[in-house]
Amino acid sequence: MDQLVSVILVSFNGEAYLQKAIESVLNQSYKNFEFLLVDNGSHDDTRSIMKGFQKKDSRIRVITYDKNISRTPCYNEMVPLAKGKLIFEMCDDDIMLPDRLRGLLKFMIENPELHMANSLFYYIDESDRILAKNHTPHVDKEWWKKVVAVGGLINLPTPGMTYWKASFIEVGGYRPKFWPADDLEFATRFAMSGKAVATLDKVLLHYRIHSQSVMAKEFLDASWKCKWLLHCVQKRKLGKEEISFEEFMHIQKKKPLLTKVQWYMNIYGDKFYREAGLLFGKRKYLSFFFFISLSFLMIPSSVIKKIRQQML
């Protein structure tokens, strides 16, 4: 097991955590990789940090954009340029644990039916403190078939997805119109095309949560995009044409008030539950009880189910 793999990190104004992210890749136990560092039109010191590392390590290639073009169009352009057959995505604020490349490469090779994979991860805060471990049913290698059968979404843990380059090109890469749910759409399209996806049951990444992260800033937009994506996926399953986001939102505005209220309660109940978990990890127990109580008031049965799953 000594094949070349490619790591791609796209950053826009990511100077705050970029050095730690890059160092975590360079410190991998698996050494046969190329590292594509992409400055996506940054205005801070991102580019100079990348070029500084390029001078020290011949495995690094720095690609620069003069203007920001969003993250997924960068991947659509960079993946075909990669020399490795297996692609590892990396975020500029996360930290790879030392055996991530080795572990996921081994997982993909030992399970040749897989086209996309990820590992479990720990959530960390701005100071690298571990807050919680993510929980997912995706370690079941047959799980994706069940989701596709009912027209659901493949909610693979998305920080740092791993996939074969050929498979990425075959399915057409990312579809930027679904941003910031484009990674969810990407994994779902993978599975709907018959390509197996799974999660390695091992923690190999630290996923940073902070106020500047995309999901923190664009929660409501992401929630609407996920709802629209589910609608599109169900249309695909029936062989029907997708509708635009504008058409979808026009339909939503006509829904009964009670339906709208219930949806908002569901998404915010889930958001408050996740927030409670992070606060518990930070040992902010008073705030934890406040948010877990809010969540329980909004989605009581779901909270009970989530707690039971985490206790297993």
pLDDT of amino acid 274: 83
pLDDT of amino acid 310: 66
- Of the pLDDT bands very low, low, confident and very high (cuts 50, 70, 90), residue 138 is low
CATH code 3.90.550.10 region(s) in the chain: 5-216
**pLDDT above 90 as % of the chain:** 74
CA dihedral 254, 258, 263, 268 (to 10 degrees): 130
Residue-wise pLDDT for 8-22, tens only, equals 999 999 999 999 999
- Of the pLDDT bands very low, low, confident and very high (cuts 50, 70, 90), residue 242 is very high
Mean pLDDT of the chain: 91
For residue 132 the two structure tokens come to 């919680």
**pLDDT above 70 as % of the chain:** 95
Mean pLDDT of the 131-155 span:
83
Of the candidates 223, 235, 71, which has an alpha carbon nearest to the alpha carbon of residue 160? 71
pLDDT of amino acid 30: 98
Cβ-in-10-Å burial (0-12, 13-18, 19+) of 228 comes to buried
Residue whose entry in the numeric block shows the structure tokens 């009880």? 289
pTM value is 0.90
Which residues, in sequence order, are bridge partners of residue 117? Answer: 162, 198
Residue-wise pLDDT for 60-103, tens only, equals 999 999 998 888 899 999 999 999 999 999 999 999 999 999 99
Residue-wise pLDDT for 176-231, tens only, equals 999 988 999 999 999 999 999 999 999 999 999 876 555 555 788 889 999 999 99
310 three-state secondary structure = helix
pLDDT of amino acid 312: 57
For residue 140 the two structure tokens come to 């079941």
pLDDT of amino acid 72: 87
- Of the pLDDT bands very low, low, confident and very high (cuts 50, 70, 90), residue 283 is confident
pLDDT at 157 over 70: no
Return d(Cα 232, Cα 30) in angstroms, integer: 39
The CATH number, out of the four listed (3.30.1540.10, 3.90.550.10, 3.40.1260.10, 3.20.20.80), of the domain defined by the range 5-216: 3.90.550.10
pLDDT at 311 over 70: no
H helical segments located in 34-81: 46-56, 71-78
